[in-house]
């Protein structure tokens, strides 16, 4: 994990914007809303790459059981 301290990621890429969308039009109750996250496309691509690498490494380990 020493390499992680050398990686620089701009602050704007680490921020997400959450938007509450109403499930029922015209509602003001929080439980009748769902949230979506708007992330940078670059971060989404990097997360997909990391997830695919983790899946590829974990499948051989879990299939031994």
Domain range spanning residue 22?
7-63
Domains contained in the chain, number:
1
Domain membership of residue 30 (yes or no) is yes
Return the beta strands (E) in the chain as ranges. 17-22, 33-38
Examine the pLDDT at 35 and tell me if it is beyond 70.
yes
Which token pair is 51? 């997830």
Domain membership of residue 12 (yes or no) is yes
What's this model's pTM, rounded to 2 decimal places? 0.43
Which token pair is 44? 């989404």
| Per-residue pLDDT band at 45 (split at 50, 70, 90) | confident
Domain membership of residue 1 (yes or no) is no
């Amino acid at each position: 994990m020493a390499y992680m301290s050398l990686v620089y990621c701009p602050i704007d890429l680490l921020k997400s914007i959450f938007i509450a969308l109403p499930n029922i039009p015209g509602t003001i109750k929080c439980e009748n809303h769902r949230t979506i996250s708007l992330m940078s496309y670059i971060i989404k691509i990097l997360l997909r790459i990391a997830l695919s690498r983790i899946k590829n490494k974990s499948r051989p380990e879990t299939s031994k059981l």
